[in-house]
C-alpha cells in the first residue's frame, strides 16, 4: 500500500467518523484513529465503532509501559554521558 493510498484511507475514516459523530474529530481522536488504521491489515476495514474508553485506557497504558522501557534503556547511557561531562568540566 502506498503512502497516498494510506492517507486516502485515513481521510475516508475521519470523514466517516465525523459523519457518525456529527462534529469534527479532536486531535486525540484523530491520533487514535490513525493508530488503529496503522495496526489494521492493509485490505481489512476497521470496525465501524468508536474506541471505548476502556480501549483508549488500554492503549495509553501500553504506550506508558513502552515509554518506560525506552527510558530504562536510555537512562544508563544518559548517566554515563552526564558523568563524563562532569569530569571534563
Same domain, 40 and 57: no
∠ Cα 74 30 66 (to 5°):
20
Do 13 and 41 form a contact (C-beta atoms < 8 A)? no
Same domain, 39 and 60: no
User: With 60 as the cut, is the pLDDT of residue 6 above it?
Assistant: no
Residue 69's domain comprises 52-89
User: With 90 as the cut, is the pLDDT of residue 32 above it?
Assistant: no
Tally of domains in the chain: 2
pTM listed for this prediction: 0.41
Same domain, 39 and 73: no
What tens digit of pLDDT does each residue of 73-84 get?
Answer: 999 998 988 888
Do 17 and 29 form a contact (C-beta atoms < 8 A)? yes
Same domain, 57 and 47: no
What tens digit of pLDDT does each residue of 36-53 get?
Answer: 877 776 666 655 566 678
Same domain, 6 and 46: yes
Q: Average per-residue pLDDT in the chain?
A: 80
User: With 90 as the cut, is the pLDDT of residue 34 above it?
Assistant: no
Same domain, 37 and 69: no
Same domain, 43 and 78: no
Same domain, 1 and 28: yes
Same domain, 31 and 63: no
Amino acid at each position: 500500500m502506498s503512502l497516498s493510498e494510506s492517507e486516502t484511507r485515513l481521510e475516508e475514516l475521519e470523514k466517516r467518523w465525523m459523519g457518525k459523530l456529527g462534529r469534527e474529530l479532536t486531535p486525540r481522536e484523530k491520533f487514535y484513529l490513525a493508530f488503529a488504521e496503522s495496526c489494521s491489515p492493509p485490505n481489512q476495514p476497521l470496525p465501524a465503532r468508536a474506541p471505548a474508553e476502556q480501549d483508549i485506557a488500554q492503549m495509553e497504558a501500553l504506550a506508558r509501559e513502552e515509554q518506560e522501557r525506552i527510558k530504562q534503556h536510555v537512562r544508563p547511557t544518559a548517566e554515563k554521558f552526564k558523568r563524563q561531562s562532569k569530569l571534563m568540566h
